[in-house]
Structure 1
């Protein structure tokens, strides 16, 4: 079976690292994978190291110009896959269009409701482009919350949306060590607005800082702004920025993990933190609801306010018995989010698409 994976970016990110693990697992199952991507990043090298064809599409003058579109069409036609699996906004739209033109079955994966609604939700053109994704033969969301948000907005999708929960290699993360060092509050994620690092830094500034540190693992366009915020709050001695292409090795240096995002699908970083045996603090919606975490059972869920996050941080720092219980329960819970399970679910969809193909 030949599967083409089309993704907008191979920069550092959850969807991007997920693709690396997925194609490696599919390869071991005998699937012939190819990858097409638009924006380069460190994950392209990881895929090529697996001896998998990995092609970047460029425009002549700019991204998405006529030369780009022609090159993408020609490359997909040359690969001639049994099905196309696309991820992220632009790839989902273009993958769906070219799948229809070439009569190739396709699957679009929606990681966030905003991947469909877009940043400029009032734009008629953007709204029209969003709906092209819905022409896909199969639609998948990676979390129940995204599934619900989309159905609430587009009720006609109710019988078409599938849920395949993200999965990780449960043995790929180094277990956390709890040596006698400063208490380290850690987070992993790109420095972009919806990841909400600003709130975490401001909440951290309210804590007593004796033997407590904040480690921010990631990179992105807001890095300078966040560093300026740290400086303005006189936190340079206590906040560490860590730039890496392999965040997994840093979970062992944390004592707890915080996910302060304004919006999140099913966070790979959260799953990895739980796999590492860390107690976790996550942002939720009203009534402290969260897709994965049950408040005070598998982790702490906070409302998106600085005061609520400060309370959660103080609780986790001061109560070792609570930390140990949450870490233990979280580690048990994450066993349900394996890469094996996720890969099998995608493989079954590929088989169904290929078997039902109307290609000439």
Structure 2
């Protein structure tokens, strides 16, 4: 590796739509720049992805690589070839990069799996089997994700580590206190896809008595193929509640100051950026018992946990939260303190810097 270029890092993502991993990459670039490094972002998404403007507004260079098969790999190689460190943040990016990985032997290739999905089909097994010899280090955001990946793919000889995601902390003055008006506003932040299973949140609200439903609002931030299903359910079953679909929103203060309780209903999760960001904004959390959710959410401290797809339990928790507004405040304060102590972006960057500097183990 050319030492004169050792400060340069390219983070490669499948898109810059509004999502936890994408927001994390932008925040990580900011922290790396503050530590004297020279990060940029390569995206395989579209030129009008909403987070491109956010990244460029922060002074982060973004290169969008698109094209037909073959051409996209050539353009990707042109983006890779002058970078000593390539940090891939998506299995889809890894798949597209396969033909040019043999040309990257003089570069440090780091692969971070932000989710815990098995990706165990023959196609994905072949992708990871081929990529194994060219990846110097693989990182995970949860121990569950690490275990699942290695059970499926092996990779015993590749350097493997778990690095908790960190977040950029909002200032105290940017956090709006709870209104204390006898209502409960619940937020859902993320892609509206089947894996996130947001329908169980609406099903839980529908189980509440009508007088309780009238005091509950649900605020969705994000888009996805499940949105029509969620909208239809709201219209048919939640006439007594307020359900708002805000669409894509890149301003985190506008997201997390809009509700008092974050609901995460996913079937699988790594270390949820939405949970950490909600905690940073002093918001309590209710989350399914999957992946890293149980690491972030501690019952009787900063939130509640429930079994995946258990709408009955979720409904009971919502009633508790509505009846005990002071608990939401206490959980919110405890959550922010925990993020400050354990999930700082600086700590995350320091761990990645060690990965970048270690001798690679690809074979």
TM-score range, shorter chain: 0.7 to 0.9
- Over 3 Å counting, the alpha-carbon distance change for 1:291 and 1:276 in structure 2 is same
Quote the residue 1:328 is aligned against.
333
- Over 3 Å counting, the alpha-carbon distance change for 1:74 and 1:250 in structure 2 is closer
The answer to whether residue 89 in structure 2 is matched with residue 87 in structure 1 is yes
Q: TM-score, normalised by structure 2?
A: 0.87
Quote the residue 1:144 is aligned against.
143
TM superposition shift of 1:100:
3.4
1:303 to 288, 303, 307: 307
- Over 3 Å counting, the alpha-carbon distance change for 1:133 and 1:206 in structure 2 is farther
3-state DSSP of counterpart to 1:113 = coil
Per-residue Cα deviation, 1:281-317 (whole angstroms, up to 9, x for no partner): 010049x981322222331000121111112211222
3-state DSSP of counterpart to 2:219 = strand
Structure 1 unaligned spans of 5+:
none
The farther-off stretch of 133-142 and 326-335 is 326-335
> Distance in 2 between the 1:285 and 1:245 partners?
26
3-state DSSP of counterpart to 2:132 = helix
TM superposition shift of 1:236:
7.4
Quote the residue 2:16 is aligned against.
10
Question: Given that residues 98 and 127 in structure 2 are in contact (C-alpha distance below 8 angstroms), is that contact kept between their aligned partners in structure 1?
Answer: no
The farther-off stretch of 37-46 and 247-256 is 247-256
> Distance in 1 between the 2:83 and 2:178 partners?
48
Quote the residue 1:265 is aligned against.
270
TM superposition shift of 1:154:
4.5
The answer to whether residue 346 in structure 2 is matched with residue 340 in structure 1 is yes
Question: Given that residues 85 and 108 in structure 1 are in contact (C-alpha distance below 8 angstroms), is that contact kept between their aligned partners in structure 2?
Answer: yes
The answer to whether residue 35 in structure 2 is matched with residue 37 in structure 1 is no
2:30 to 12, 24, 49: 24
Question: Given that residues 177 and 253 in structure 1 are in contact (C-alpha distance below 8 angstroms), is that contact kept between their aligned partners in structure 2?
Answer: no
> Distance in 1 between the 2:350 and 2:97 partners?
22
- CA-based RMSD of the aligned residues comes to 2.5
The answer to whether residue 66 in structure 2 is matched with residue 58 in structure 1 is yes
Q: TM-score, normalised by structure 1?
A: 0.87
Instruction: State the number of aligned residues.
Output: 344
1:160-239 matched pairs, under 5 angstroms: 160-171=159-170, 174-181=174-181, 182-207=183-208, 208-235=212-239, 237-239=241-243
3-state DSSP of counterpart to 2:257 = helix
Per-residue Cα deviation, 1:55-89 (whole angstroms, up to 9, x for no partner): 111114xxxx1111122123322xx1111111011
3-state DSSP of counterpart to 2:358 = helix
TM superposition shift of 1:273:
0.7
Quote the residue 2:4 is aligned against.
none
Quote the residue 1:111 is aligned against.
114
3-state DSSP of counterpart to 1:290 = helix
Per-residue Cα deviation, 1:174-204 (whole angstroms, up to 9, x for no partner): 3242224332111211111111111101111
The farther-off stretch of 234-243 and 220-229 is 234-243
Question: Given that residues 138 and 158 in structure 2 are in contact (C-alpha distance below 8 angstroms), is that contact kept between their aligned partners in structure 1?
Answer: no
The answer to whether residue 283 in structure 2 is matched with residue 278 in structure 1 is yes
3-state DSSP of counterpart to 2:63 = strand
- Over 3 Å counting, the alpha-carbon distance change for 1:357 and 1:282 in structure 2 is closer
> Distance in 1 between the 2:348 and 2:97 partners?
21
Question: Given that residues 205 and 235 in structure 1 are in contact (C-alpha distance below 8 angstroms), is that contact kept between their aligned partners in structure 2?
Answer: no
